[in-house]
Amino acid sequence: MGFYRTGKFWAIENFGITPDALVFGKSLTNGVNPLSGIWAKEKLISPVVFPPGSTHSTFSSNPLGTTAGLETMKLIEESDFGASVAKKGKYFIARLRSLKKKWPQIGDVDGLGLALRIEICRKDGYTPDKALTDLIEEIGLSGKLTSGGKRRGLVLDVGGYYKNVFTIAPSFYITEKEIDLGIDLLEEALVKAIKKTS
């Protein structure tokens, strides 16, 4: 998980686990340049045990990557993502759960911070429905949704073992108004998909 995606710097912090080592990458440069890192307990990675030159990595330090990584860390230090991501995630998941109460085709809804998921099922609320999921995605991509008074589209990321789960990982800067619009567009796409399959 990217830094603060779950409301904590490291996602593992949500579970009360103290790791011996952490390997990380991708979010370190905010996607600008391949760079990875390792954090470990001193006894595992001290210069005595793990001296310079002990390893080689394709994604080790490079001028562009380290500069981007330092700027990413600076941005993180200047922001209050811990509080804001947790608050926005709580609001987003509450809105998704209210949608679930209205539509039995929505199964499990869960998440941490702004790493969320919504499962699409048959009317029993349990059996995965890949066909309905695909139709909702297709309707979103058609650009023919109208929530908010304008013609709009909705890009949804499909995942899960049965390919019936929408994973939602919006920008940390998303507003409650934008979350509301996203929920309205998702519901509109869901309603249209249900009508087509009925």
Domains of the chain, by residue range, sit at: 11-79, 82-197
Inter-residue contact 33 to 139 (CB < 8 Å): no
The residue among 1, 173, 175 whose CA lies nearest residue 81 is: 173
15 pLDDT more than 80: yes
Instruction: For residues 44-65, give the mean pLDDT.
Output: 80
Amino acid identity at 149: G
**For the chain, percent of residues with pLDDT exceeding 90:** 76
Domain 82-197 falls under CATH 3.90.1150.10: yes
pLDDT at 69 over 70: yes
* Mean of per-residue pLDDT scores for the chain: 93
Kindly report the pTM of this predicted structure.
0.89
Give the largest CA-CA distance in the chain. 68
Q: Does the pLDDT of residue 57 top 80, yes or no? A: no
Complete edge-to-edge strand list for the sheet that includes strand 165-168? 106-112, 115-120, 165-168, 157-159
In this predicted structure, the answer to whether residue 60 has a pLDDT above a threshold of 80 is no
CA 65 to chain centre: 23
Confidence of residue 26 (pLDDT cuts 50, 70, 90): confident
